[in-house]
Amino acid sequence: MNAPIVFRRMAAAWIVLVVLGAGSARADVTFIVNTVLDLADDNTNDGLCHTSAGTCSLRAAITQANHWSNPEYAIINLPAGNYVLSIPVPFGAVDDEAVGDLNLTTALIAGQRIVILGQSAASTIIDANHVGSVFAIAQGRPATISHVTIRGGNSPFSGGGIRNEGDLTLFRSIVENNTAHTYGGGIDNFQGALLVKSSTIRSNDAHEGGGIDTFGIGNRVEILASTVSDNHAYQGGGIYNDGDQLFVVNSTVSANTADDNGGGIYSRIATFIYNSTIVDNDADDDHDQTGGSGGGIYAESGSRSLVVNSLIAANYATGYVNENDCQGILEVYGWNLFGDDGAFCSFSGNGASSHGLITPSTIGPLQDNGGSTWTHALLPGSQAIDSTYDNLGCVDENLTPLPDDQRGGSRPFGVRCDVGAYEYGAVTDRIFSNGFE
Ligand SMILES: [Ca+2]
Ligand SMILES: [Ca+2]
Ligand SMILES: [Ca+2]
């Protein structure tokens, strides 16, 4: 068939094909979703996002992106709307791309990336309606999901919101109110690469890793400028890390609960925490008096848990009765502040010179302090203000200075950078556009 006919067919099926530069090898495709109704693609071999109703649904766009065979981006433009998944998995059938959760399958060409772009986390909602997970990202699938809310997932296995075995970047998004029977209520990162940036993981539930569960050796997981809050699990209320490359940078872990160990973070192999705020988490939330230590961080015996310029305070064990910021050995550098570091923690790294105490009442509540995520402000007089004592300053895992705090306010403000994710006095834009940073 000739080119103009192909183009007309694509336009009719709400496809915009963008070829950047004549003779360029780069070719992106954009699918523009035009219905909130959940219908399957009616022909996966035609290159068209098209359902039996003549629409381009989110499921059809993903399916056709899975089958896209050119080597660049497959972009899915997802307007504001409430996208409720509604195709059950037939009894005994495979939960593939046509039914149940949204499957991003292995790329046909290595490195090809699917990009799902919502309008904003407040207005583009993807809801599994509690009948299964929301997303499953396969091994060998690079994907970016931005400006959406992912909620209502309920998995009998792992990854209530997202199960990631691929290479996923989650940006300016919210993962909330998802449940998994085993691992990762919000996100289960199973031997995948995961970057969570400027996003919120909140109010999810699982057996291990209420917000996020990570598993795998050599699989990089980075939580950057994000907030993990109000999640619950048996162990690892906020994050359960069963991998060796979890980096928590410029982020907040708050108000998560575990019935057993690790209210905020359970570190099983290796965890690296830079300029983060870990407050108001609770271990032994079920008050059964067995287990339940490490309200903020539980560092399992033999694990490596590195903490740099971070604020770990007002965490509890046994139902918010006993202050219990950490359990186990923390490897500390820079200047770290605790509410109570005496009872269960010991320290390596710079040792006793690398940590002190903060008065918890100088930490504000978790709220909108500007930026795209909620944070805990430092209140006037807080020991965390201007107190990253050594010459390291606020840095990420590459020891690169952090130019902003979690909210996007320039740091340092004042004479020094502040301990934790929030820079006192830093000015932020309270209104964010939908564009990439
Ligand atoms: Ca099709
Ligand atoms: Ca599926
Ligand atoms: Ca400062």
Q: How far apart are CA 388 and CA 369, in angstroms?
A: 22
> Which phi and psi (to 5°) does residue 360 adopt?
-55, -25
Mean pLDDT (whole number) for 174-178: 98
Q: How far apart are CA 423 and CA 98, in angstroms?
A: 46
Distance 126 CA to ligand 2 centre (A): 14
Nearest ligand by distance to the CA of 138: 2
176 in Cβ contact with 151 (< 8 Å)? yes
Question: Would the pTM count as exceeding 0.85?
Answer: yes
Distance 61 CA to ligand 2 centre (A): 14
Nearest ligand by distance to the CA of 14: 1
Distance 12 CA to ligand 1 centre (A): 12
Question: Which of the pair, 367 or 342, is modelled with greater confidence?
Answer: 367
Q: Give residue 284's pLDDT band: very low, low, confident or very high (50, 70, 90).
A: confident
411 in Cβ contact with 421 (< 8 Å)? no
Nearest ligand by distance to the CA of 382: 3
Q: In one letter, which amino acid is 144? A: T
pLDDT at 177 over 70: yes
Name the residues around ion ligand 2, CB cutoff 5 A: 95, 100-101, 103
Q: How far apart are CA 205 and CA 203, in angstroms?
A: 7
pLDDT at 344 over 50: yes
Q: How far apart are CA 129 and CA 194, in angstroms?
A: 25
Nearest ligand by distance to the CA of 45: 1
Domain locations in the chain as residue ranges? 3-219
Query: What would the pLDDT profile of 35-91 be if each residue is shown by its tens digit?
Result: 999 999 999 999 999 999 999 999 999 999 999 988 889 999 999 999 999 999 999
Query: What would the pLDDT profile of 112-158 be if each residue is shown by its tens digit?
Result: 999 999 999 999 999 999 989 999 999 999 999 999 999 999 999 99
Please name which of 177, 173, 180 lies closest in space to residue 226, comparing C-alpha atoms: 173
| 3-state class percentages of the chain: helix first, strand second, coil last, to nearest 5 | 5, 40, 55
3-state SS, residue 200: strand
pLDDT at 22 over 90: no
Distance 413 CA to ligand 3 centre (A): 4
Distance 42 CA to ligand 1 centre (A): 6
β 27-32/15-19 pair status: antiparallel
Per-residue confidence (pLDDT) for residue 3, from 0 to 100: 35
Q: How far apart are CA 273 and CA 425, in angstroms?
A: 23
Distance 89 CA to ligand 1 centre (A): 20
Q: How far apart are CA 347 and CA 339, in angstroms?
A: 15
Per-residue confidence (pLDDT) for residue 42, from 0 to 100: 98
Mean pLDDT over each residue of the chain, to the nearest integer: 90
Query: What would the pLDDT profile of 205-264 be if each residue is shown by its tens digit?
Result: 999 999 999 999 999 999 999 999 999 999 999 999 999 999 999 999 999 999 999 999
Distance 419 CA to ligand 3 centre (A): 8
Distance 101 CA to ligand 2 centre (A): 4
Nearest ligand by distance to the CA of 153: 2
Tokens of 168: 């996923």
Per-residue confidence (pLDDT) for residue 437, from 0 to 100: 37
pLDDT at 174 over 80: yes
CA distances from 326 to 193, 299, 339, 379 (A): 27, 8, 10, 23
pLDDT at 387 over 70: yes
Query: What would the pLDDT profile of 389-402 be if each residue is shown by its tens digit?
Result: 767 789 999 999 99
